[in-house]
Structure 1
Amino acid sequence: MARLPFDDEHAPLYSVGQVADMLDVEQAFLRRLDEHDVVSPARSTGGQRRYTRHEIGDLQDAIKLVGEGMSLAAVRRIFVLQQQVRDLREELARERAARREEQDG
Protein backbone atom coordinates (compact mmCIF):
# COMPACT_ATOMS: atom_id res chain seq x y z
CA MET A 1 0.00 0.00 0.00
CA ALA A 2 1.29 3.46 -0.90
CA ARG A 3 2.32 5.78 1.90
CA LEU A 4 0.18 8.88 2.25
CA PRO A 5 1.76 12.34 2.59
CA PHE A 6 0.61 12.71 6.19
CA ASP A 7 2.50 9.50 7.06
CA ASP A 8 5.76 11.33 6.26
CA GLU A 9 6.92 13.65 9.04
CA HIS A 10 8.91 15.61 6.43
CA ALA A 11 5.98 16.27 4.08
CA PRO A 12 5.14 20.01 3.98
CA LEU A 13 1.42 19.87 4.67
CA TYR A 14 0.50 22.53 7.23
CA SER A 15 -0.17 26.19 6.52
CA VAL A 16 1.09 29.00 8.72
CA GLY A 17 -2.46 29.56 9.97
CA GLN A 18 -2.90 25.91 10.92
CA VAL A 19 0.42 25.81 12.74
CA ALA A 20 -0.24 29.10 14.54
CA ASP A 21 -3.55 27.67 15.78
CA MET A 22 -1.93 24.37 16.83
CA LEU A 23 0.81 26.10 18.80
CA ASP A 24 -1.29 29.02 20.04
CA VAL A 25 1.05 31.67 18.62
CA GLU A 26 0.60 34.54 16.21
CA GLN A 27 1.27 33.95 12.52
CA ALA A 28 3.64 36.91 12.60
CA PHE A 29 5.78 35.08 15.17
CA LEU A 30 6.09 32.09 12.82
CA ARG A 31 7.07 34.42 9.98
CA ARG A 32 9.74 35.98 12.22
CA LEU A 33 11.15 32.52 12.99
CA ASP A 34 11.37 31.94 9.23
CA GLU A 35 12.98 35.35 8.61
CA HIS A 36 15.62 34.58 11.27
CA ASP A 37 16.28 31.11 9.76
CA VAL A 38 15.20 29.33 12.94
CA VAL A 39 12.79 27.14 10.96
CA SER A 40 12.57 27.42 7.17
CA PRO A 41 9.36 25.88 5.87
CA ALA A 42 8.85 24.88 2.25
CA ARG A 43 6.74 27.08 0.00
CA SER A 44 3.69 26.05 -1.96
CA THR A 45 3.44 26.91 -5.66
CA GLY A 46 1.58 30.04 -4.56
CA GLY A 47 4.43 31.03 -2.21
CA GLN A 48 2.64 30.11 1.01
CA ARG A 49 4.66 28.61 3.86
CA ARG A 50 4.06 24.88 4.40
CA TYR A 51 5.33 23.22 7.57
CA THR A 52 6.16 19.57 8.19
CA ARG A 53 5.41 17.68 11.39
CA HIS A 54 9.16 17.66 12.04
CA GLU A 55 9.30 21.46 11.73
CA ILE A 56 6.32 21.81 14.05
CA GLY A 57 8.36 19.95 16.67
CA ASP A 58 11.24 22.37 16.07
CA LEU A 59 8.81 25.27 16.43
CA GLN A 60 7.66 23.90 19.79
CA ASP A 61 11.30 23.81 20.92
CA ALA A 62 11.88 27.35 19.64
CA ILE A 63 8.78 28.66 21.42
CA LYS A 64 9.99 27.10 24.67
CA LEU A 65 13.46 28.64 24.30
CA VAL A 66 12.03 32.08 23.48
CA GLY A 67 9.79 31.72 26.53
CA GLU A 68 12.94 31.11 28.59
CA GLY A 69 14.35 34.41 27.36
CA MET A 70 16.47 33.35 24.38
CA SER A 71 16.72 35.67 21.40
CA LEU A 72 15.89 34.33 17.95
CA ALA A 73 19.59 34.49 17.06
CA ALA A 74 20.38 32.38 20.13
CA VAL A 75 17.66 29.86 19.24
CA ARG A 76 19.03 29.58 15.70
CA ARG A 77 22.55 29.01 17.09
CA ILE A 78 21.27 26.36 19.51
CA PHE A 79 19.55 24.54 16.63
CA VAL A 80 22.73 24.68 14.52
CA LEU A 81 24.81 23.32 17.40
CA GLN A 82 22.29 20.56 18.08
CA GLN A 83 22.46 19.51 14.41
CA GLN A 84 26.26 19.51 14.54
CA VAL A 85 26.16 17.24 17.59
CA ARG A 86 23.76 14.85 15.80
CA ASP A 87 26.02 14.82 12.73
CA LEU A 88 29.13 14.14 14.83
CA ARG A 89 27.39 11.31 16.69
CA GLU A 90 26.42 9.71 13.38
CA GLU A 91 29.97 10.09 12.08
CA LEU A 92 31.36 8.56 15.27
CA ALA A 93 28.95 5.62 15.00
CA ARG A 94 30.03 5.03 11.38
CA GLU A 95 33.71 5.17 12.37
CA ARG A 96 33.15 2.73 15.22
CA ALA A 97 31.25 0.34 12.97
CA ALA A 98 34.01 0.49 10.35
CA ARG A 99 36.65 -0.16 13.01
CA ARG A 100 34.69 -3.18 14.29
CA GLU A 101 34.43 -4.55 10.77
CA GLU A 102 38.21 -4.18 10.32
CA GLN A 103 38.86 -5.96 13.60
CA ASP A 104 36.37 -8.75 12.85
CA GLY A 105 37.33 -9.13 9.20
Structure 2
Amino acid sequence: AYTMGRAAEMLGTTHGFLRAIGEARLITPLRSEGGHRRYSRYQLRIAARARELVDHGTPIEAACRIIILEDQLEEAQRINAEYRRAAESANPTAAT
Protein backbone atom coordinates (compact mmCIF):
# COMPACT_ATOMS: atom_id res chain seq x y z
CA ALA A 1 0.00 0.00 0.00
CA TYR A 2 1.16 3.51 -0.82
CA THR A 3 1.02 6.52 1.47
CA MET A 4 -1.05 9.52 0.47
CA GLY A 5 2.08 11.49 -0.33
CA ARG A 6 3.53 8.75 -2.53
CA ALA A 7 0.17 8.14 -4.22
CA ALA A 8 -0.26 11.85 -4.99
CA GLU A 9 3.31 11.99 -6.33
CA MET A 10 2.77 8.94 -8.55
CA LEU A 11 -0.47 10.38 -9.95
CA GLY A 12 0.86 13.91 -10.27
CA THR A 13 -1.96 15.25 -8.15
CA THR A 14 -2.59 16.69 -4.70
CA HIS A 15 -3.56 15.22 -1.34
CA GLY A 16 -6.79 17.20 -1.67
CA PHE A 17 -7.68 15.40 -4.88
CA LEU A 18 -7.22 12.02 -3.18
CA ARG A 19 -9.33 13.17 -0.25
CA ALA A 20 -12.04 14.42 -2.62
CA ILE A 21 -12.36 11.12 -4.47
CA GLY A 22 -12.45 9.40 -1.10
CA GLU A 23 -15.25 11.70 0.07
CA ALA A 24 -17.10 10.94 -3.18
CA ARG A 25 -16.74 7.26 -2.20
CA LEU A 26 -14.93 6.36 -5.38
CA ILE A 27 -12.19 4.74 -3.33
CA THR A 28 -11.86 3.95 0.35
CA PRO A 29 -8.20 3.80 1.30
CA LEU A 30 -7.01 1.47 4.00
CA ARG A 31 -5.75 3.03 7.19
CA SER A 32 -2.47 2.41 8.98
CA GLU A 33 -2.41 1.84 12.73
CA GLY A 34 -1.74 5.55 13.08
CA GLY A 35 -4.78 6.41 10.94
CA HIS A 36 -2.86 7.39 7.80
CA ARG A 37 -4.40 6.62 4.41
CA ARG A 38 -2.88 3.79 2.38
CA TYR A 39 -3.73 3.21 -1.29
CA SER A 40 -3.57 -0.05 -3.24
CA ARG A 41 -2.43 -0.30 -6.85
CA TYR A 42 -6.03 -0.93 -7.88
CA GLN A 43 -7.13 2.26 -6.10
CA LEU A 44 -4.34 4.17 -7.82
CA ARG A 45 -5.59 2.97 -11.22
CA ILE A 46 -9.07 4.24 -10.34
CA ALA A 47 -7.66 7.54 -9.08
CA ALA A 48 -5.64 7.90 -12.30
CA ARG A 49 -8.84 7.46 -14.35
CA ALA A 50 -10.56 10.10 -12.21
CA ARG A 51 -7.67 12.48 -12.72
CA GLU A 52 -7.81 11.90 -16.47
CA LEU A 53 -11.49 12.86 -16.55
CA VAL A 54 -10.96 15.89 -14.29
CA ASP A 55 -8.01 17.02 -16.44
CA HIS A 56 -10.39 17.03 -19.41
CA GLY A 57 -12.83 19.32 -17.60
CA THR A 58 -15.20 16.89 -15.92
CA PRO A 59 -16.23 17.97 -12.41
CA ILE A 60 -14.84 15.61 -9.79
CA GLU A 61 -18.26 14.40 -8.62
CA ALA A 62 -19.26 13.61 -12.21
CA ALA A 63 -15.92 11.89 -12.86
CA CYS A 64 -16.45 9.65 -9.85
CA ARG A 65 -19.96 8.77 -11.01
CA ILE A 66 -18.72 8.01 -14.54
CA ILE A 67 -16.07 5.65 -13.17
CA ILE A 68 -18.61 3.88 -10.95
CA LEU A 69 -20.94 3.45 -13.93
CA GLU A 70 -18.07 2.21 -16.13
CA ASP A 71 -17.23 -0.36 -13.47
CA GLN A 72 -20.86 -1.48 -13.18
CA LEU A 73 -21.13 -1.80 -16.96
CA GLU A 74 -17.95 -3.86 -17.14
CA GLU A 75 -19.23 -6.18 -14.41
CA ALA A 76 -22.62 -6.56 -16.12
CA GLN A 77 -20.93 -7.39 -19.41
CA ARG A 78 -18.74 -9.98 -17.69
CA ILE A 79 -21.76 -11.62 -16.06
CA ASN A 80 -23.69 -11.55 -19.34
CA ALA A 81 -20.78 -13.25 -21.14
CA GLU A 82 -20.68 -15.94 -18.43
CA TYR A 83 -24.42 -16.58 -18.82
CA ARG A 84 -24.04 -16.71 -22.59
CA ARG A 85 -21.18 -19.26 -22.33
CA ALA A 86 -23.20 -21.35 -19.86
CA ALA A 87 -26.25 -21.28 -22.14
CA GLU A 88 -24.14 -22.27 -25.17
CA SER A 89 -22.57 -25.13 -23.20
CA ALA A 90 -25.98 -26.37 -22.08
CA ASN A 91 -27.48 -26.18 -25.57
CA PRO A 92 -24.74 -26.05 -28.26
CA THR A 93 -27.20 -26.34 -31.18
CA ALA A 94 -29.05 -23.16 -30.15
CA ALA A 95 -25.91 -21.07 -30.72
CA THR A 96 -25.96 -21.75 -34.47
Equivalent position of 1:74 in the other structure: 62
Higher helix share: 2
Cα separation, 2, equivalents of 1:25 and 1:42: 19
Identity %: 33
Residues matched between the structures, number: 92
Equivalent of 1:97 in 69, 85, 91: 85
Q: Is the 8 A contact 1:38 1:75 kept in 2?
A: no
Query: Quick one: which amino acid aligns to residue 38 of structure 2?
Result: R
Cα separation, 1, equivalents of 2:64 and 2:12: 21
RMSD (Å), alpha carbons: 1.3
Q: Please, which runs of 5 or more residues in structure 2 have no aligned partner?
A: none
The match for 1:33 is 21
2:42 alignment partner, SS class: helix
TM-score w.r.t. the length of structure 2 is 0.85
Cα deviation 1:46-75 (Å, max 9, x = unaligned): 221111111111111111111111112101
Report the TM-score when normalising by structure 1: 0.79
What stretches of structure 1 of length at least 5 have no aligned partner?
1-12
